[in-house]
Amino acid sequence: MIAMFACPARLALLLCVFLAACGDKPADYFPGYAEADYVRLAAPIAGTLVKLQVQRGDAAQAGAPAFVLEQENERAAREEATFRAERARAQLADLRKGKRPDEVAAVLAQLNQAASALRLSTSNFARQGQLVADKFIAPSAADEARAAVERDQARVNELQSQLRIARTGARSDEIAAAEQELKAAEAQLTQAEWKLEQKTQRIPVKASVNDVLFREGEFVQAGSPVISLLPPQNIKLRFFVPEPALATLKIGQALDVQCDGCKGPIPASISYVSSTPEYTAPLIYSKENRASLVFMIEARPAPEQAALLHPGQPVEVRIANARVEP
């Protein structure tokens, strides 16, 4: 979990001295300073900090371990969700399989017995019918034999239905309900795994570790930054221009930036032009400049040279031949 914050590096006294020494600079020269947007790394879940894997000043690579919060509760929740998902999966498989082989075999044996009884009663009914026709026995005997055939046939039909049910498993509605139970259990498992993963945070982008805000053993609230990172590409320049010069500046316009200790100009391009005027630059307090109407400008240095600048460092900004970067 990361959030962006601006560095309020003003250095008023240094820039006042710097500006006073540059009163004879050309019109395309503007004093300014470097600033940065910090990346503050936090976990969305509260916990005690048990492992801090970076220190202030470290150069951290993207994906490197940053810090770990205690995980006992999240591990237990994941195990519980895993067991629930396994149980739901087993119940669904059981409903789809139908009855066990021994139960199916028992129904099949009963069906064979009923079929044998039906054959016997059918043969007996045929003999009784012939004897009635020859007037050796009363017609009531044939009626009894017919009833026995119907009884045995009904029993065979009943066992055939039971055998089909035993082989096909549970009803479709029961299977559908079990499938939904499995989906719910798997969703709970996914949530538990996500919470456990959030207790271990990694460096999201290549950056230097600007500050460490918690120590091992301290309790960290959810969303509280633990580490402050400064990626080189998040370094920017801020300077102020008078209102007459505003019309000559455009987004993407190229700049040349110089600083103390820099071997040569650092290329940059304008990334933001304030739409709100200020009656005096926040770093200028002389009577000559107090009534000036100025606008804040922000620029981004070339990524490969941004690391040469430090937040709060005074710089000199010049318009580079009115070029506009694509």
First-to-final CA distance of the chain: 32
CB 303 within 8 A of CB 233: yes
Q: What is the DSSP string of 257-268?
A: EEETT-SSPEEE
Give the C-alpha distances (Å, rounded to integers) separating 51 from 42, 55, 123, 187, 211. 14, 11, 87, 29, 16
Cα 121 to Cα 133: distance, rounded to the nearest angstrom: 18
Per-residue confidence band for 242, with pLDDT thresholds at 50, 70 and 90: confident
Residue 70's pLDDT is 96
Cα 301 to Cα 234: distance, rounded to the nearest angstrom: 9
Give the DSSP letter of residue 233: G
Q: What is the pLDDT of residues 144-191, one digit of tens each?
A: 888 888 888 888 888 888 777 777 666 778 888 989 999 999 999 999
- Of residues 4, 6, 20, 17, the one with CA closest to residue 288: 20
Per-residue confidence band for 98, with pLDDT thresholds at 50, 70 and 90: low
Point out the least confidently predicted range of 75-89, 111-125, 128-142, 222-236: 128-142
Per-residue confidence band for 275, with pLDDT thresholds at 50, 70 and 90: confident
CB 107 within 8 A of CB 162: yes
Cα 84 to Cα 276: distance, rounded to the nearest angstrom: 59
pLDDT at 3 over 70: no
Q: What is the pLDDT of residues 181-212, one digit of tens each?
A: 999 999 999 999 999 999 999 999 999 999 99
pLDDT at 65 over 90: yes
Cα 72 to Cα 131: distance, rounded to the nearest angstrom: 87
- What tokens does 267 get? 């290329």
- Of residues 34, 10, 29, the one with CA closest to residue 255: 29
Q: How many alpha carbons lie under 13 Å from residue 61 in its C-beta half-sphere?
A: 2
Residue 12's pLDDT is 41
Cα 135 to Cα 88: distance, rounded to the nearest angstrom: 68
Helix (H) or strand (E) holding 13: helix 12-20
Residue 35's pLDDT is 94
pLDDT at 1 over 70: no
Average pLDDT over residues 39-48: 96
> Of residues 103 and 252, which shows the higher confidence score?
252
